[in-house]
Amino acid sequence: MIPGMRDVIVAANWKMHTTPADAGELARTIAGRTRVPGVTRVICPPFVCLAAVRGALVEANGEVGVGAQNIHHEAQGAYTGEVAAAMLVGLATWVIIGHSERRRDAGETDEQIGRKLGRAVDAALRPILCVGEQLEEREMGQAGLVVRRQLDGALRRHEPALLAAAGLVIAYEPVWAIGTGRTASGADAAAMAGIIRVTLGEIGFPERGEAIPVLYGGSVTSSAIDEFMAEPSIDGALVGGASLKPDEMAGIVARAGVTAAARGLTG
């Protein structure tokens, strides 16, 4: 598949921000200010805000997707405080899996993340699988090896055609560029997107995974997004802190719209 056929996606990860009292209004404002043809928009609020955000986005006529920030790797069981994929039916249609903060804070392994992918597919949730290296791994020249290992560990257990049909999205997030003041370059992201596609091909995805969108996520802002969206191998962004600011989201989605128009996705 040629790059022009891949979706252009901007996904907002609100992390542990907002409450049910204010999340709906923020989602409504962002939806209204980011109506750009050809760009798939997703908002991923905290679990307790999913219903409020979904309700608010009804006014957007389904144009903005709702995603969860995590799911458990088991279908059900004695896992206090966890959320199973099936519990999200009717509340979300997307889910972030394997975010670096989950790997760091919850000790999630590639094997668990792979199981989460299976749960997402079973529940008809479109997965955004996050991969990325730590600063010391990049400085040691191991960034590519780390991302290859993460992809292989999460994806190898699944049938590539099934994941592709489920709408798998990969988000490359260099951990060293998240909230540190350090930034990756568009060339850095493009190089890693290339490694991601080679690895997808090795795992068994047709045409080196050319049909799979690759997003960039690493302290994305409206002032920095142009450098990444100018790269043909980058198909959008997973936005963290800036996704809580309507002005920032408007700027990011507007720039993504330029790429969507260039790919012929606006008509």
Domain boundaries, the chain: 10-16+23-262
Cβ–Cβ < 8 Å for 72, 116: yes
Euclidean distance between CA atoms 1 and 33, whole angstroms: 31
Euclidean distance between CA atoms 121 and 102, whole angstroms: 20
* pLDDT at res. 133: 95
Euclidean distance between CA atoms 189 and 52, whole angstroms: 34
Is 99 designated active site? yes
Closest Cα to residue 83, out of 120, 47, 114, 55?
47
* pLDDT at res. 1: 42
List the chain pLDDT tens, one digit each, 267 residues. 445 579 999 999 999 999 999 999 999 999 999 999 999 999 999 999 999 999 999 877 779 999 999 999 999 999 999 999 999 999 999 999 999 999 999 999 999 999 999 999 999 999 999 999 998 999 899 999 999 999 999 999 999 999 999 999 999 999 988 777 677 899 999 999 999 999 999 999 988 799 999 999 988 999 999 999 999 999 999 999 999 999 999 999 999 999 999 999 987
Give me the catalytic one of 101, 108, 137, 173: 173
In the block, residue with structure tokens 């999630």: 108
Residues paired with residue 216 on neighbouring β-strands, in sequence order:
172, 237
Residues paired with residue 94 on neighbouring β-strands, in sequence order:
67, 126
Give me the catalytic one of 72, 73, 99, 158: 99
Is 173 designated active site? yes
pTM: 0.96
φ/ψ (deg, to 5) at 14: -80, -5
Residues paired with residue 145 on neighbouring β-strands, in sequence order:
none
Phi/psi region, residue 145 (left: phi>0; alpha: psi -120 to 50; beta: rest), is alpha
The number of residues in the chain equals 267
* pLDDT at res. 206: 86
- H helix runs in 170-245, sequence order: 186-203, 225-229
The CATH class of the 10-16+23-262 domain is: alpha beta
